Each structure stands twice: as structure tokens, then as C-alpha cells.
Structure 1
Amino acid sequence: MRENPIGKIAILLFSLLFLSACKAEVLAPTGDVAAQQRDLLVLSTLLMLIIIVPVMLLVVWFSWHYRASNTKASYKPNWDHSTKLELIIWAVPLMIVIALGALTWVGTHLLDPYRPLGRISAEKPLTTEEPLKVEVVALDWKWLFIYPQYGVAAVNELAVPVDRPVQFTLTSSSVMNAFYIPAMAGMIYAMPGMQTTLHGVFNAEGTYQGLASHYSGWGFSGMRFKAKASDAAGFDAWVAAARAGGRTLDRPAYLDLERPSENVKPETFAAVEPHLFSRVVNMCVEEGKICMAEMMALDREGGTGLAGTMNVSALTYDKDARRGTRAPVLGWEPFQVTGFCSIEEEERMFGVKPAWSEAVPRDPAHLRGHGLVRTGGLMDGLFDRRRPEAISLAEPADAGASNL
């Protein structure tokens, strides 16, 4: 029975209908940064095709021209060199590699995710308006967005105004993840205990897909969110609706939100506890846990001895506990030192006053240990307990033990 080629073609065309719902966001972005990345990708591909296409055509031509039945084709078994041919074979690819390297080097530096935007779009220059700052936390398995300029937060929902630069500051609560909005900007990693930055902008209103592009466990497939780009009035209305919600994202609420959960519906918070994002980065959201930056500052000044080895505890819902790893001898509950002994307490314990205790500490009121010096560094202001907004956790349990 003779096969019907028209039927095969019809089946092939019908199967393509299942791809009609796919969106080519990478090749048709609505953000200037993503558009520049698209252009870099297309130009690089075209440069490589200058070599690939002729090679593929020549493979077909040589196979046809030097077939066994073509007796007119010249046969030269002793031929081994041609200067002109060697020049073409090596010079053209070398020029392509040089052009591709220059294009990639310039493009990747101009599109550095840490570099602030130089323009709104190809037609619009950069305005003097302050960029919108969004603090992003990759949770298991959802995204948390904090707006420090407006004091609101949202889960699995990102709202931004059109034609306003957005500065993302990202971290993660437990494992490394990747933040990606194909229509807006490139991908950037979010890692626990670290902070990364991404700049982007939307040039058209709409609702776009955001996702986690790095596998992170059971709920990875549902770790998606909607990025809503609207005009300034629409964004202000979204902020007003979030403030009317009434819920506050404080430290206990964050720890509850940090618990692993899948396919979480979008929700908003009317207020956010100050310095919450800094605590997430420094792994000290839990009450009574010293911050990582403060511990590093203490280590820089000489350390805290044996007590410091137990002063940083793991997250209550860390990756080992929830994935069934054998529990440690001391259990999963975190434990840490709550204070350092004063000289008088040490003398009562050991009966001998150490020689170094005669030295007058530079600032004993800052930390609970009498012999510890004041911490410094990049986040020094956040750990100064003389300021009301300080977040230092090296505080005594009661006001009467300021030197303990």
C-alpha cells in the first residue's frame, strides 16, 4: 500500500499546535536589559553561523560531487597542501573568534548584573528618579519580596512600575537558588549567608513569568511567581492595597514562613520589621542568635575562644532536618552560648585572676564579654546597641547584667 505524504505533513502540522501556547520571552523580552542580552545572543549566533553554514553546505557538496558514479570529478591522491586554502581555513575562523570575543567581552561587562542601569531603553535616557529597591529571599519553596522604601512585602508576587529601574538584592534561606525573570533581566544566584545584586527594568505593562531556574528540592516545580508591571498609579494602588492588609512580617512571622511549603498562593504584608533582610543574610533571625557579621567581626579582633564555637546555631528547619538525615547526638534543637563570663565570675570559678584582666577594655558596654573589644566593619552601625535601631544580639537577658 502506497503511503500518503500529505497525511504525514498534516499530522506534523497538527502536532505543532501544542506549541502555540509557548512564549518566546527570551527572544521577545519587554525589558531593556533582557533585550540587550537577546541581541548579544543573536549576534553571537550569527557570527558562528558564518562558519557553520558554509561547512554544512560544503559537506553536502563534497558528498555529492565526489560520489563514486561521478567520473568527471578530479582525483588527486597525492595532493596535500594549498597555501590559499590554508589561509582561508585559518584566517576566517580566527577573525570570527576575535569578533566574537570582543562582542562578548564588551556585552557582558555592560550587562554586569551589579552594574546600575545606564538607560531606561534605547529611546529613553536614564531619569533622576530613585531606583525601586526590592529585597528578595529564596525560601523553600517560594519567593519573598520586601520593599524597604515602602515598608511592605509580598510572597510569590512582584509588582514594579514601568520605566523605573529596579535594584534587586538577593539572598537565600537554606540552599542556593537562581532568580530569573526572562522578560526583564538575566539570571542571578541567591545563596544563604551571601548577598547578590541584579538591576533590571520593564518597558511595557503586563504580567510576566518569574521562576527559580536552579533545582532546590521537592517543591522546585511550584517555585514560580508573577511579575506585574504597571504604570506609577497602578503600582501605588498595589502598595496601598498591601498596606491595608494588616499583617506584619516580623521575625516570628518570617520563621513561620521559612518552613518548607509548596505551591504557595500570593500574599502581602502591610509592614515589615526593620533590618529583617539583614538578619536573614546574617542568619540571625532566631531570637538569641548572634549575627554572622558580628561573629566575623569578633573573629577579626581575635575571636571569643571556645564559647564562640557554639555561638552560631543552624536554622531550625535546615536542609538536613527536613530531608531525613540522621539526627546529631545533641538533637536538632539549636543551642548556643547566651553570654560570656565576666572577670569576677571567672575568678570565682577558677580562683586565680588572669594577668590580662588588669587591662582596661576599650568599650565593655558593647558586648556581654568584659574582655571583648567593640566590633567594627561594614555593618558596625547595625550592631551598636546604643542606637535604638541596632540589631546586635550580644545583649544580656536582663538590664541588670550589662557586663555579662
Structure 2
Amino acid sequence: MRPLKKLPYMRRAAALLTLLLTVVLTSGCSGQFVVLDPKGPIGDAQRDLIVFATLLCAVVIVPVLILTAIIVWRYRDKPGSKASYKPEWEHSAKLETIWWGIPVVIIIILAAVTVKYTYALEPSKPIVSEKDPITIQVTSLDWKWLFMYPEQGIATVNYLSIPEDVPVRFELTSDAPMNSFWIPQLGGQIYTMSGMAMTLYLQADEAGDYFGSGANFSGEHYAKMRFDVKAMPQEQFDAWVREVKATSSELTKDGYEALAEPGVSEQQSFSAFPEQLFREIVTKYAPSGSHHHGGAHVEPQPQTQEEQHSHHSAH
């Protein structure tokens, strides 16, 4: 019978060890919680929703955890216990109203707030600003990111420069397996999909360097789907554009086909790219139609005479 007496102490030791292990593991996460350190209006609103939802859930979770500990300690089996014994007790209208009513109210509040934020933060909804947005076309590849600036006529790979305090209209697609575009400090992620052009508005309120990443499993080197984001004053951004135009080579059709081959890539820049490249990427899998979401409408490419003749012959 001696081992049975030691069992409660073994359980307590295991619980204490688990607690210590949890503290050690979580303390090792010394990196900054970038989602909770937003640098743009979209990130600010999403952070507020996360904090509000967490505090609202804590209204239920914290009392439940505290009461659980109190009940386990108060009503544990011990010699001389004076706790009331009510084996026939099975119903309390007051208690059931409390433990059902409070969660229901919290769910209603959380649902209302979430719906409000969902509509306010619709990815394709333009950001209110006195400044005109800049457009950047994003293509996810295996395993790299291609950024094209149609207004500036330049392109980059695995790094992104944007003007400070200016809305950015991202048009996104994929020429590889589906991925997810994410700059945590500026806003939530959005999927990139073959044959579709998605729209996402973001803005950096402060100059600085930000972390960007793919947030989807997409094969062998998915962990290297990262890119650097640098927000800078407008004058510095314009100077950067001029530098890229003056010092970089052009991205040709053949160059893009080589870039699109599966493989990792270092940061690159291009002084020019084919004018209709983004449209061709979006419509290459749907030559007879167009796919768009949230305003990023891309017209299909016109058919050649040979394609039209083949189409009519098939009917």
C-alpha cells in the first residue's frame, strides 16, 4: 500500500514540473509580438479587435480558472471536512442563469463587434487618405515573391519599398501553389491564388523596416518565402525608384519564366518589366474568362485568330 500513498505527491510533482516547463518554453520566445505592435491603420484596428476579444473572453476564463482551483481545494477529500453534503442536489436556477447567461451575453457582444470590424476592415476597402494610393502587383512563386510597380515601371524580388504614410493598393495573384501574403505590423494576411487577382489596402504610418512573409505551406522551401519591407519618406522613395531604373537590368518574358521556376532567390531589382505581365499571369490559367476579387478586375487576353478558329471548329 505504500506506493498508493505516494501517488498524490507524484501528481503534485508532475503538475509542478509541467508548470515550470511551460514557463521555460514560453520565456524562450523572446521575439517581439509584432502583431501587437502595429504601424498602420489596418494593423491598429486589428490589434484593437484582438485585445478586445481577449479581454472579453477573460471575463469567463479567469473566474472559471480561479473557481476551479478554489473548488478543488475547498472540497477535497480530507479528514474532518465540514463541507455540506447534498447528494440529492441537482438544480439551481440562479447558478444556471449565471453560467449560461454570462457566456451568451459575451458571445452576442463579441459577434456584434466582430461583424463591425469585419466590414470596416474588408481588404479591398480603400484607406481614407488625402494622398493617392500607390499600386503594387504581387505574385507569389516557388519560393519567392515578385513585386511589380506599374506606375513606376520597376520590379523587385523578395523586398518591397513603399512610401511612408501613403495607402498601398496591393493586387495579388499566384503563379505557383496558393500562398498567403502577410506583413504583420501593417495588417492581416490575404491569400494569393492562381487565376485570381485579390486586392489588399495597407499603409505604413511610420518609416522603418518591417517583416513580410508567406503564411502558407507551399512546398519544400516555404519557410524561405520571406521578404523585407522598407517604408520611407516620399522623397527617399522617389530616389530609390530612380536608382533602380539607373542600375538594374530589365525583366524580360524569358527572364520571368526562369524566375518562375521552383527555387529560392536572393533579392533582385529590375528597371522594367513586360507591361501586361501581371494580367498574363492572372489569366494564363483562364484564357476565356477573368477572375477577380475586391475590385482587382483583370480582363482576359484577346484570343488570336488561330484560337478563335479552333474554338468555332470545336462547335
- TM-score normalised by structure 1 residue count: 0.65
Q: Percent of aligned pairs with the same residue?
A: 38
**Residue in structure 2 matched with residue 111 of structure 1 by the alignment:** 121
**Residue in structure 2 matched with residue 330 of structure 1 by the alignment:** none
Superposed displacement of residue 26, structure 1: 0.8
Which residue among 192, 200, 203 is the counterpart of 1:201? 203
Counterpart amino acid of 1:188? I
Distance, in Å, in 2 between the alignment partners of 1:245 and 1:149 is 18
Q: Deviations over 1:152-179 (max 9, x none)?
A: 1111110001110011100000211111
Q: 1:192 to 1:109 in 2, by over 3 A?
A: same
Q: 1:226 to 1:15 in 2, by over 3 A?
A: same
Q: Deviations over 1:341-372 (max 9, x none)?
A: xxxxxxxxxxxxxxxxxxxxxxxxxxxxxxxx
Counterpart amino acid of 1:206? G
**Residue in structure 2 matched with residue 250 of structure 1 by the alignment:** 252
Stretches (4+) displaced over 6 A: 11-17
Which residue among 83, 95, 98 is the counterpart of 1:85? 95
Q: Is contact 1:139–1:174 with CA below 8 Å preserved after alignment?
A: yes
Distance, in Å, in 1 between the alignment partners of 2:104 and 2:248 is 63
**Residue in structure 1 matched with residue 47 of structure 2 by the alignment:** 38
Equivalent residue runs for 1:286-325 within 5 Å? 292-293=286-287, 295-296=288-289
Bigger Rg, structure 1 or 2? 1
Counterpart amino acid of 1:101? A
Q: Secondary structure at the match of 2:266?
A: coil
**Residue in structure 1 matched with residue 73 of structure 2 by the alignment:** 64
Superposed displacement of residue 67, structure 1: 1.9
Q: Which has the higher contact order (CA 8 A, sep 6+)?
A: 2
**Residue in structure 1 matched with residue 269 of structure 2 by the alignment:** 268
Segments of 5+ residues of structure 2 without an aligned counterpart are: 1-20, 291-296, 308-312
**Residue in structure 2 matched with residue 363 of structure 1 by the alignment:** none
How large is the Cα RMSD of the aligned pairs?
2.5
**Residue in structure 2 matched with residue 214 of structure 1 by the alignment:** 216
**Residue in structure 2 matched with residue 319 of structure 1 by the alignment:** none
Q: Is contact 2:197–2:298 with CA below 8 Å preserved after alignment?
A: no
More helix by share: 2
Q: 1:105 to 1:138 in 2, by over 3 A?
A: same
Count of residue pairs brought into register by the alignment: 282
Superposed displacement of residue 71, structure 1: 2.1
Q: Is contact 1:170–1:190 with CA below 8 Å preserved after alignment?
A: yes
Q: Deviations over 1:263-321 (max 9, x none)?
A: x111111112111100010117xxxxxxx34x249xxxxxxxxxxxxxxxxxxxxxxxx
Counterpart amino acid of 1:266? Q
Q: Is contact 1:175–1:216 with CA below 8 Å preserved after alignment?
A: yes
Segments of 5+ residues of structure 1 without an aligned counterpart are: 1-10, 119-125, 285-291, 298-377, 384-391, 398-403
Distance, in Å, in 1 between the alignment partners of 2:72 and 2:212 is 48
Q: 1:12 to 1:277 in 2, by over 3 A?
A: closer
Counterpart amino acid of 1:44? A
More strand by share: 2
**Residue in structure 1 matched with residue 304 of structure 2 by the alignment:** 394
Superposed displacement of residue 36, structure 1: 1.1
Distance, in Å, in 2 between the alignment partners of 1:256 and 1:395 is 28
**Residue in structure 2 matched with residue 279 of structure 1 by the alignment:** 280
Distance, in Å, in 1 between the alignment partners of 2:81 and 2:282 is 75
Counterpart amino acid of 2:122? D
- TM-score normalised by structure 2 residue count: 0.83
Superposed displacement of residue 215, structure 1: 1.0
**Residue in structure 2 matched with residue 192 of structure 1 by the alignment:** 194
